């Protein structure tokens, strides 16, 4: 659940009136910056993240959209960059892993780390290492080392809530930030999020392609995507609800990845 956000009248984007309105905005735009989350947006959730493959119909539509020269596509995920690229391989697509802490632009060589951390203080390092060692030994929590941070995957919301209370106290006033998602707690460096990643990628695309006026579209389903919704006030923001409520900054919503597939199919001109 996303607590603390203002509940507004959200619009179901697949409704004829809303879809027509959005498609008209897209048709009028000279350049589209399309940002997509992965898990829960393009792919259904799975207990094993490595088996959470993108829906086949989604992949087909994305490949067709990638052929449209006015569309600049980016995937932004909490997954490690290397893992994200293994899950889906698209031409002319920019990839951002670890919530944008590691970025690969299609027109540049190498991995970009836009947020260079300052020297981590001793206490922060100590607490981070202690947490890593503790959860490496835990049998009911799966620890994912993302190089930049840790992701703790729980098998129940109750266990997650219990751990979150202790971890918040441990990492208070440190160089690390806690982010809680669906049965997962991430421990990552402060000062960077998907919103900043969206702005960074947008600037890179504009500079490379020599474009100014763009329409930004962001589709995501998690608390981490709220930071991106906030920086796209003039764009099109779409929240994939899954099993949550509609407490979101996004203007529009979809119910699940199957709805995402329908939307992308329509945008690709296949329906």
- Condensed to tens digits (0 to 9), the pLDDT of residues 56-115 reads 999 999 999 999 999 999 999 989 899 999 999 999 999 999 989 999 999 999 999 887
Of 78, 85, 15, give the one whose Cα is nearest residue 41: 78
User: Which tops the pLDDT comparison, 261 or 118?
Assistant: 261
Give the CA count within 13 Å in the CB-facing half-sphere of 58.
Answer: 22
The CATH number that applies at residue 150 is 3.30.70.1020
Spell out a b/e string for 17-43, using b for 16 or more CB atoms within 10 Å of the CB, else e: eebeebeeebeebebbbbbbbbbbbbb
Cα separations in angstroms, 127 against 104, 120, 143, 170, 187? 30, 11, 15, 7, 11
* Residue 146 pLDDT greater than 90, yes or no: no
The CATH number that applies at residue 37 is 3.40.50.1000
Of the three residues 134, 156, 189, the one that is the final residue of a domain is: 189
The number of distinct structural domains making up the chain is: 2
pLDDT band, very low/low/confident/very high, at 202 (cuts 50, 70, 90): very high
- Do 201 and 110 share a structural domain? yes
* Residue 203 pLDDT greater than 80, yes or no: yes
- Do 209 and 92 share a structural domain? yes
How far apart CA 50 and CA 55 sit, in angstroms, is 14
Q: Which residue has the tokens 């951390």?
A: 117
**pLDDT value for 64:** 96
* Residue 4 pLDDT greater than 60, yes or no: no
DSSP assignment, residue 79?
Answer: S
- Do 129 and 106 share a structural domain? no
Report CA 188 to chain centroid distance, whole Å: 15
Of the three residues 173, 189, 205, the one that is the final residue of a domain is: 189
- Do 80 and 21 share a structural domain? yes
Q: Domain of 42?
A: 11-115+192-267
Of the three residues 136, 163, 189, the one that is the final residue of a domain is: 189
**pLDDT value for 8:** 55
Q: How much of the chain exceeds pLDDT 70, in percent? A: 96
**pLDDT value for 117:** 55
Q: What is the mean pLDDT of residues 180-191?
A: 87
Q: Tell me if 59 is assigned to some domain.
A: yes
**pLDDT value for 2:** 46
Crossing angle for the helix pair 257-267 and 16-28, to the nearest 10 degrees: 50
Q: Tell me if 16 is assigned to some domain.
A: yes
């Amino acid at each position: 659940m996303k607590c603390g956000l203002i509940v507004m009248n959200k619009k179901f984007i697949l409704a004829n009136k809303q879809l027509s309105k959005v498609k008209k905005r897209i048709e009028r735009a000279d350049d589209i910056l399309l940002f997509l989350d992965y898990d829960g947006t393009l792919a259904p959730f799975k207990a094993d993240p490595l088996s959470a493959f993108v829906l086949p119909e989604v992949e087909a539509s994305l490949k067709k959209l990638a052929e449209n020269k006015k569309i600049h596509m980016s995937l932004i995920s909490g997954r490690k960059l290397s893992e994200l690229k293994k899950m889906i391989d698209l031409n002319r697509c920019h990839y951002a892993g670890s919530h944008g802490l590691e970025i690969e632009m299609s027109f540049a060589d190498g991995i970009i780390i836009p947020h260079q951390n300052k020297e981590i203080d001793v206490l922060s390092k100590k607490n981070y290492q202690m947490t890593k060692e503790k959860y490496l030994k835990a049998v009911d929590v799966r620890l994912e080392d993302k190089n930049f941070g840790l992701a703790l995957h729980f098998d129940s919301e109750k266990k997650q809530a219990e751990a979150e209370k202790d971890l918040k106290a441990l990492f208070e006033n440190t160089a690390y930030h806690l982010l809680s998602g669906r049965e997962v707690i991430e421990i990552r460096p402060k000062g960077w999020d998907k919103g900043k990643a969206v702005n960074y990628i947008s600037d890179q695309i504009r500079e490379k392609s020599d474009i100014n006026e763009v329409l930004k579209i962001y589709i995501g389903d998690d608390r981490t995507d709220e930071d991106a919704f906030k920086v796209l006030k003039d764009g099109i923001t779409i929240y994939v609800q899954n099993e949550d409520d509609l407490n979101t900054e996004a203007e529009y919503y979809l119910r699940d990845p199957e709805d995402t597939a329908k939307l992308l199919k329509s945008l690709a001109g296949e329906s």
